[in-house]
Structure 1
Amino acid sequence: MQIAALDHLVLTVADIARTREFYRSVLGMETVTFGDGRQALRYGQQKINLHQAGLSFAPHARFPTPGSADLCFLLVGSIDATVSHLQASGVPIVAGPVRRTGATGTLRSIYIRDPDGNLLELSVPAGPSNEGG
């Protein structure tokens, strides 16, 4: 057996509507409804299924808890433009820009939190066009 890619992951959240709005307006993800009214966020070729805390679909993680995720997203564009967008959106930056190591090389990253407190790393490949402050 060999894994090819990640198709989707599940976030357990306190308030699906609030989460959908944050990921749509701040991160530009598409909100989708599927199945029997289930909610998700789509970006690129992946999606994040949203489960309401206390009402998770079975099977699910042993202890589904809002705010327990730590995710890294690769950005289109520059870190500097992303910092400006986050500031204009009133989203505090927890840390960064900093250099980190990603799955395929060095990244330039900033960190924010979503409404549940999940840590979101927003990154671009490090290189001459992304080395600014």
Structure 2
Amino acid sequence: MISHIDHVVLTVSDIDVSLQFYVRVFGMEAISFANGRKALRFGNQKINLQTLGQEPRNHAQVGSGDLCLITHWSLEAVIAHLVQEGVEIVEGPVSKSGAVGDIESVYFLDPDKNLIEVSVYVL
């Protein structure tokens, strides 16, 4: 029935700060859609951003997100990049289980304390 995830939504305190963080740290593309809403596009996916209360159907809180993003970089290169960008790693590298196999991951927080995991599949 389900083939893949198209997008996820993060509730953030400041959309511009979040856009700047994800563009700077990940090289994602900031885009606008649907009457000026903001999102981050990467590959065939996107992360929509909303502020608290912007979407009345959603009861998420700021900083309640937990994302795992897969990279084609080596984990060593990811760590070096995060250090260069002043992003504090809160855990890792550690072994975890991804959707289609074993992964190695590092964890850190975005400006709203959403937990971000960047991972590489172990071949």
Q: TM-score range by the shorter chain?
A: over 0.9
Partner secondary structure for residue 20 of structure 1 = helix
- Structure 1 residue 52 displacement after superposition: 1.2
RMSD over aligned CA atoms reads 1.0
TM-score normalised to structure 2 length = 0.96
Query: Rg: which structure is higher?
Result: 1
Q: Which consecutive unaligned segments of at least 5 residues does structure 2 have?
A: none
1:48-63 equivalences in 2 (<5 Å):
48-54=47-53, 56-58=54-56, 60-61=57-58, 63=59
Offset of 1:57 from its aligned partner? 2.9
The reply to whether residue 123 of structure 1 matches residue 119 of structure 2 is: yes
Shift, 1:81, TM fit:
0.4
1:20-62, CA deviations, whole angstroms, 9 ceiling, x for partnerless residues?
Answer: 00000001111001111110000110001111113x234x32x
Identity level (%): 46
2:74 to 52, 73, 78: 78
Calculate the TM-score normalised by the size of structure 1.
0.89
What amino acid is aligned across from residue 97 of structure 1 in structure 2?
Answer: P
Letter matched to residue 20 of structure 2: E
Q: 4+ runs of 1 displaced by more than 4 Å?
A: none
Could you say which structure has the higher strand fraction? Answer: 2
Partner of 1:131: none
Q: What is the count of residue pairs matched by the alignment?
A: 123
Whether the 8 Å CA contact 1:42–1:48 is kept in 2: the answer is yes
